[in-house]
Amino acid sequence: MSANAQNLSFVLEGIHQVKFEDRPIPELKSPHDVLVNVKFTGICGSDVHYWEHGSIGQFVVKEPMVLGHESSGVISKVGSAVTTLKVGDHVAMEPGTPCRRCEPCKAGKYNLCENMAFAATPPYDGTLARYYVLPEDFCYKLPGNITLQEGAVMEPLGVAVHIVKQANVSPGQSVVVFGAGPVGLLCCTVAKAFGASKIIAVDIQKPRLEFARKYAATATFEPAKAPALENASQIIKDNELGSGADVVIDASGAEPSIHTGIHLVRPGGTYVQGGMGRSEITFPIMAACTKELNVKGSFRYGSGDYKLAVDLVASGKVNVKELITGVVQFEDAEQAFKEVKAGKGIKTLIAGV
Ligand SMILES: [Zn+2]
Ligand SMILES: [Zn+2]
């Protein structure tokens, strides 16, 4: 690594093969673009998956690709048409730029864009570099009471906001969240901010449940090695959920959780799939049918989600600081991947260069 590198970037070349590379400082592609000096980047399961396997589903890393997509930074250059940001502003970076022209984009569901350019999803480079270019409306100015470290957590918080919105969580409802990793924990706290009264976190790891309880869950459950129906009725009994939970969110992607979750929703209730695991599983379709469940997917984030994420933290309704359990220097970026892989801490950030 050279000290006078212009745009030092953390590049994935192949499975477990990473290197630091000095790349040219990216040019603004439109007068509405800004250049961001990246300051902090969180690492999540998808980054680790690319590092370990070189692909996720149909997305295969064919050319060396810069990793990272959960970032915050400081505006270092603005295009001639930029009106909302100035050099020096602190921003949370929404890392996917939709085409704005396809049917889903025009329908207001830009997360489903057919031509999305998303950071660290091949062939698009990620944000683990000194500089990254984004349109101004995909940078969210951080108010003075949100640090740049917290700003990097707006990405998973945006994911959680989208999931909880998909679930239509409303005041007084009971919400069960499967998976107490960063996104599951953030779903618990967003559900609380939306007024849910019972928030039950489910995970197979005790330390994660302890964290969830201190953080935002009102109760926790560690599933027994038992049939899904039995775990579901135990959760209902323990938490006096009557005919079942109003809302179940899966943030684990694990087949047993999905089974238990479907059995756990009350008739007419809502189930949202947020976690990504195996692409095909067996599914309790009869229960979904006879209970007339609203079964929905949730993918990344869309209109208003990042803005709400920033507002929730600015207003003190959501705390993301507690989730940041480690910060490593840019030179030690690979260490962050190893820590996430080992399940160490909740959210590890990589400092910028
Ligand atoms: Zn992520
Ligand atoms: Zn589009």
For the stretch 228-275, pLDDT in tens is: 999 999 999 999 999 999 999 999 999 999 999 999 999 999 999 999
How far from the centroid of its chain's Cα atoms is residue 269's Cα?
24
The environment of the single-atom ion ligand 2, i.e. residues with CB closer than 5 A, is 98-99, 102, 105, 113
Full set of structural domains in the chain with CATH: 7-141+320-351 (3.90.180.10), 160-297 (3.40.50.720)
Q: Nearest ligand to the C-alpha of residue 160?
A: 1
Instruction: For residue 221, report the phi and psi dihedrals to the nearest 5 degrees.
Output: -145, 130
For the stretch 135-175, pLDDT in tens is: 999 999 999 999 999 999 999 999 999 999 999 999 999 99
Whether residue 295 contacts residue 289, with contact meaning beta carbons closer than 8 Å, is answered with: no
Q: Nearest ligand to the C-alpha of residue 154?
A: 1
For residue 178, give the nearest of 226, 114, 228, 132 by alpha carbon.
Answer: 228
Q: How far is the CA of 44 from the centre of ligand 1 (A)?
A: 5
* Other C-beta atoms lying within 10 Å of the C-beta of residue 218: 18
For the stretch 73-87, pLDDT in tens is: 999 999 999 999 999
Q: Nearest ligand to the C-alpha of residue 100?
A: 2
What is the pLDDT averaged over residues 279-299?
A: 97
Per-residue confidence (pLDDT) for residue 84, from 0 to 100? 97
The environment of the single-atom ion ligand 1, i.e. residues with CB closer than 5 A, is 44
Per-residue confidence (pLDDT) for residue 1, from 0 to 100? 54
Q: Nearest ligand to the C-alpha of residue 50?
A: 1
